[in-house]
Amino acid sequence: MSINNGADQENEDILTKGSPHLFVPTIESMVFVPNSDSVLSGMASPRLLHTHLPYSLLPDSIKNSGCKIVYLTRNPKDTFISFWHYFNSTKVDTCGTERPLVIGSKQQISLEKAFESFCNGTYLYGPIFDHALEYHKESSKMPQKILFMKYVVLKKDPKGQLKKLASFLGKPFTEEEKVDKILWRCSLERLKNLEVNKNGVNPWNWLANSGYFRLGVTGDSKNYLTAEMEERLDQIARTKLEASGLDLDA
C-alpha cells in the first residue's frame, strides 16, 4: 500500500487515517457487507485486495487477468500461535466444525483444541501446508504473476524484500531513503501505536483494529508449544513438503 501511494509527502500517509484493513479489504469478509460489489468497483485503480483463499478457490477472473498476486506465508508454528492469540482476542471461535463462527463469543479456545484442529487441517482457511504449496507451485510456473514471500525472510532482510516487492509490482525504488521511510511507516511498532489502530473496528468484519497487532516476531511458538507438539508439526511438514523442496522454516 505504501509502495503504491509513494513515500514522498507526509500528508499522503494514509496509514494515519485508518487501519490497513480499511484500505485493503479482505475479499471473503466483503460477502457480509451490504452493496459490497459497488464498494469494490468504486475503489480507485490499481485496487489492492487481500484474501486468505487458497489458489484453487480463486475465481478464473483473477487467475486469467493481468493482476499480480503477492503471497506471504509464515512458519507454521508461529502461524498457529498468532492465529490462536488473534481469535481469542477477538472472541471468535473458528477451529473445528463443532460450532459455527460466532462473533462476540466469550468462550476462549484452548491451545490443545486449536492445535488439534490446526494439525488436522480443520482450521479456518484450511490446511496451511496445502495452502502454501498451491501458491508455491503456481509461483514457480508464473513468477511474473505470483510473488511467493516468507515472513521469516522478510524479518531477516526487510530492505531486500521490500525492494524485491517493489520491483515485482513494477515500481522499483530509485532512492534509498524512500525504502527506509516505507519500512518505518509500515513497522509493527509504529502501526500498533497509531490511534487509528488502538481504537475502532474493521468495518468489513466488525473485529477490533487492535487485534491485528501483537508481537510480529519469529520463534514465539517456543513459548507455547511442547516438544511433542513441535515434532508433530515438523512431521506433518516433512510429509507434505519434502517432495516439493519448500521449507517454510527458512
Which positions are annotated as active-site residues? 52
Task: Report the sign of the C-alpha dihedral through residues 88, 94, 98, 100, in that order.
Answer: positive
- Angle at the Cα of 81 from the Cα atoms of 78 and 87, rounded to 5 degrees: 135
Whole-number Å distance between alpha carbons of 9 and 120? 48
Q: Exposed, middle or buried, 99 (CB in 10 Å: 0-12/13-18/19+)?
A: exposed
Contact 134, 127 (CB under 8 A): no
**How many DSSP H helices and E strands does the chain contain?**
13, 2
- Give the CA radius of gyration of the chain: 19
